[in-house]
Structure 1
Amino acid sequence: MAALAVITGVQGTVDIGTSRREVGPRVPQDWELTGSGGPRPFVTWRTYRLPDQSSYLWESRHHRKGVGPRTYPDRLGLRTRARGEDHSTKSPWLRFWAPHRLAWWIATIFVVGSVCFVAGAAGSLVPGAFGGHHRMSLFAETCYFVGATLYTVSIYGQILETLNADRAIGPDRRSHAPERFRWFAFELRHLEFLVPFVLFLGSLVFNYETIFALGSSLNWLPELGLWTTSLLGAVLFLVSGFLQFIEAGHGYVSFDPRNVSWWVGVLFVIGSVGFVIGALPGLGTPGLPTSESYPGALIVKIGFLVGGVAYLAGSYLMLPELFTQLREHGRKAS
């Protein structure tokens, strides 16, 4: 029987034995729910009226980025002061250091992984710089292998971030961390879980493709469905990017250029489209030249280069996104 713990004065229960939980935050019982919405059937925002007649807005992505889980030492209180947690007027675009936040590691590792994809695609455009196509292929496939591995690590971090975000909000508007850290669960009703979960599946497919592509370049492994898995991974990335876009925009169609989270979603969609286009010539898609001849080979390289650059830009934007939400949540709790 799963153990359940009830937080006094807070709606609902804290489930420490199963993955079941309600959509949205757990708030004090005297808070009145005044509205909720999102891309159906998902809920990505809720508003509450407090006893003092003030209001509180909860947004799924913004909440977990602003009050997402800390790293283990910081969670235990082993740090005397959390650097990067200063809610001052300093611009989020001028802040880059917050290693006590899991979201910081997610963004940073994603940036490095994206740099690897960009380097691999850019290198494939200039085989002469490596002394021939074989050496260029080894360089590019090594970059893709390292990039896909880093993506997988970062995406799993996103799953942990989702499962362990501070869900309970006290009467003082401050968020409270879960009593127990969760390493995995299936929460398919929650859009904030589906975003990294689908992306994680795509990264595992890319791991297979990059391992066998590098192995075949070294004559260690056979080429087994590499282009098919490349396209499948790209499609899963595209699905996740679209889910990220609708979560940030709270709808299937939105235009919010002043919202950095919206831009992260847009850039991840663009990056995924680039990966899809880069994989299509390898499948002999009707109407497109094959990857074995010009300009099909160029389409592959340009597609993955554009995709990598878009993912790099989107990954970088997750840093100012983090600091923006830290500042906003600091103001809410003050």
Structure 2
Amino acid sequence: MSVWWRPDRLAWWTGLLFAVGSLLFLFPGIAALADVDARWVGAGFALGSVFFTSAALLQLIAASEVPHRARPAHERRALRPRAWLPQRVDWLAAAIQFPGTVLFNVNTFAALDRALTAGQADVRVWGPDMIGSACFLAASLLAFANSEHRWLSWRPRDVDWQIAAANLLGSIAFGASAIAAFVRPATGTAVNDAIANGGTALGALCFLIGAVLLPLQADRQQRAGAAAPAPAGD
């Protein structure tokens, strides 16, 4: 079966949902730079946030399952969608990222209301956006450090590193976008619309790259697991 068509893998669905969500942020972000009708642009962001949240939930479930699936077959139970594993960096990153995506739901749907005052926009739209972007950045930093077990590394030929680096760059771009989107109470305008929309588009492109690479990562991990020697006594 092709690496690119593996609906039997949770990672494949995660990558698909992240990719669709990224596209729904990328195209509206580009359109907003060209000052296109804001109504469909906002709707695109809101729909994209739903795909992001769905993908982040699958990623959290997968991180909860990793230590469980490592047990002998006779000790396994059915799917365990929740767990508390703060000692595992992959789980911790997913647990931080998931509420960040929920906050993106809050801010993108709130932004559909065109009648908000500057103060309301900062509380209902900018605030959740800023906190959600901070969650993404923290999660991406943890994932990047975990990919090579160090905070700084350079392994551009390694798919784990590529995914972590793409997501980290995307999170930085989203953070810059959130900062620039603050609405000045005195004028009712954003700090910098170009950075806000450009950062969103660039971040979405980076997340799209990371999502496309997820099936390759999953295939490599499965091959490595299949090639590993069985424990003594099995």
Give the TM interval when normalised to the shorter protein.
0.7 to 0.9
Change in 2 beyond 3 A, CA 1:257/1:177: farther
Q: What is the aligned partner in structure 2 of residue 313 from structure 1?
A: 209
- Find the aligned partners of 1:117 and 1:239 in 2 and give their Cα distance: 20
Aligned residue identity for 1:266: A
Change in 2 beyond 3 A, CA 1:220/1:300: closer
Q: Secondary structure at the match of 1:283?
A: coil
Q: Which of the two has greater helix per residue?
A: 2
Q: How many percent of aligned residue pairs carry the same amino acid?
A: 23
CA displacement at 1:333 relative to structure 2:
5.5
Aligned residue identity for 1:332: A
Q: Secondary structure at the match of 2:7?
A: coil
Aligned residue identity for 2:11: A
Q: What is the aligned partner in structure 1 of residue 228 from structure 2?
A: 332
Change in 2 beyond 3 A, CA 1:256/1:269: same
- Find the aligned partners of 2:39 and 2:154 in 1 and give their Cα distance: 41
Contiguous gaps of at least 5 residues in structure 2? none
Q: What is the aligned partner in structure 2 of residue 167 from structure 1?
A: 70
Q: Secondary structure at the match of 1:258?
A: coil
Q: Secondary structure at the match of 2:49?
A: helix
Q: What is the aligned partner in structure 2 of residue 237 from structure 1?
A: 136
- Find the aligned partners of 1:194 and 1:119 in 2 and give their Cα distance: 30
Q: What is the aligned partner in structure 1 of residue 19 from structure 2?
A: 111
Q: Which of the two has greater strand per residue?
A: 1
- Find the aligned partners of 2:156 and 2:181 in 1 and give their Cα distance: 35
- Find the aligned partners of 2:219 and 2:178 in 1 and give their Cα distance: 35
Aligned residues: 223
Q: What is the aligned partner in structure 2 of residue 252 from structure 1?
A: 151
Aligned residue identity for 1:149: V
Change in 2 beyond 3 A, CA 1:96/1:296: same
CA displacement at 1:176 relative to structure 2:
7.6
Q: Is contact 1:291-1:297 (8 Å) kept?
A: no
CA displacement at 1:240 relative to structure 2:
0.4
Q: Secondary structure at the match of 1:164?
A: helix
Q: Is contact 1:123-1:139 (8 Å) kept?
A: no
Q: Is contact 1:164-1:178 (8 Å) kept?
A: no
1:271 aligns with 2:179: no
Q: Is contact 1:164-1:177 (8 Å) kept?
A: no
1:292 aligns with 2:189: yes
Instruction: Kindly report which structure 2 residues correspond to 1:167-186, keeping only aligned pairs within 5 A, or say none.
Output: 167-168=70-71, 178-186=76-84
Change in 2 beyond 3 A, CA 1:291/1:330: farther
CA RMSD of aligned residues (A): 2.5
Q: What is the aligned partner in structure 1 of residue 8 from structure 2?
A: 100
Change in 2 beyond 3 A, CA 1:253/1:145: same
Aligned residue identity for 2:70: R
- Find the aligned partners of 2:188 and 2:158 in 1 and give their Cα distance: 38
Which of the two has higher C-alpha Rg? 1
- Find the aligned partners of 1:261 and 1:177 in 2 and give their Cα distance: 29
Instruction: Kindly report which structure 2 residues correspond to 1:123-142, keeping only aligned pairs within 5 A, or say none.
Output: 123-127=31-35, 130=36, 136-142=37-43
- Find the aligned partners of 2:203 and 2:126 in 1 and give their Cα distance: 16
CA deviations 1:142-188 (Å, max 9, x no partner) are: 1111111111111110111111232126xxxxx78832321212221
- In structure 2, which of residues 70, 84, 92 is the aligned counterpart of residue 194 of structure 1? 92
Change in 2 beyond 3 A, CA 1:148/1:110: same
- Find the aligned partners of 1:209 and 1:332 in 2 and give their Cα distance: 45
Q: Is contact 1:167-1:177 (8 Å) kept?
A: no
- Normalised TM-score (structure 1): 0.62
Q: Is contact 1:281-1:291 (8 Å) kept?
A: no
Change in 2 beyond 3 A, CA 1:187/1:140: same
Deviates more, 1:118-127 or 1:98-107: 118-127
- Find the aligned partners of 2:6 and 2:116 in 1 and give their Cα distance: 41
Q: Is contact 2:106-2:124 (8 Å) kept?
A: no
- Find the aligned partners of 1:193 and 1:151 in 2 and give their Cα distance: 17
- Find the aligned partners of 2:75 and 2:57 in 1 and give their Cα distance: 19
